[in-house]
Structure 1
Amino acid sequence: MAQDYPRDEFDEIAEHGGPVGVHRAPRPWWTRILPPLLAFLIAGAVAYGLAMLLWNSGDSSPEPAPTPTVTVSPDEEPSAEPTETSEPSAEPSAEPSPEPTPTPTETEEPEPSILFDAQVHIRNGAGIQGLAGEQQEILVDSGYTNTEANNISGSLIPDGANVVIYGEDRLADTAADIGEKLGIDRVEMGDTPGGAEIEVLLASEPS
């Protein structure tokens, strides 16, 4: 004999129909593909975000400052106008420029060649005692080393005037120096009466 139980919620579900027990109503097809699709979209979004983050971090380094470029404008073209050429003067210069006067060059005279060891005879033809010796002392004091004082006849003195006579060209400077030392202006080259290299013939006392 069936036993009566109080009515509960399951009795109400059974009255509405549908599977009873472990059987469930079938789910729509999109409920099966929605979870993997969402997972794929989320993963793609995450990957895209990481890629953008890495890209932006790589571009964040400061860019080098651009090098300024300098443009040089070409020089202005030369003027095409012809330059005026000065016409030559038709009239010649009135006065020619004076030529410079050449400056005479001074030629140095060679030093006189004095032979202090030349044979020099001082000969007294004036008749004044000791005159030849006095002139000899003057020459010795001047450095002459080969002198002799003696007498001569006044008639052997040319023109009867004081004179210094030398026998060779090499004695010219020495004879001129002797005449200067004794105050005798007349100095000649010729044969000496006594045969000495240089002879001083005294017709009077030298001034």
Structure 2
Amino acid sequence: MVRDQRDTYESYQKDAFDNPPAGPMGVHRGNTPWWTRLVPYLVVLIVAALAGLLVWGFYSQELQKVFVDKDQNTSQTDTSSKKKKDADEKEDDSQKEESKKGDTEKDDTKADDSAMEQQPSPQPTQQVNKQTTIRIVNATRINGYGAKKQAVLQQAGYSSVTATNPSGQLPKASVVWYQNENDKATAQDVANALGITAVEQQNGTAQPIVAVLLN
């Protein structure tokens, strides 16, 4: 008896092709969601709405108002910024001027202080002493001329005045001598009262002030 041997699926050894993955494979297409079919219509509606808004804005001038308002806001912002910048610059310039003015005043004050320090202190004003002893030397050949000038000084307020004749060397012209620097103002006053222009300091005189009268 011949054995009936037929090739069947079970008679072959299984490999990787005998366990295919689940689901569609190859040229099979999966199921698409329902909402993807609406995407083209939505795009068309959005584009149409935008186009309608643009047309409406153009003819109604609303779109122009938007740009005009934007330009105005930009212009106002620029103007405000410029004004603020100008104000800041003016404030800086003002502060600089005040600083320079303050420095100048300080320099002037220092210069004045320095000038005052360098200036010599004023000498005390000499006073005329009407109590000073005064001698009048009559070197003229006119009798009583010394007594006449003595009376002039007494009328001027001098209380200690004497008139004498010359006893030593005489100067070439009328002169008023004084011993110390403190008597200079008094000697000048005596010379003015007697009409004498020459006033000299002379050491070794008999009295603090001596008036020599010559022709």
Higher helix fraction: Structure 1 or Structure 2? 2
Q: TM-score, normalised by structure 1?
A: 0.45
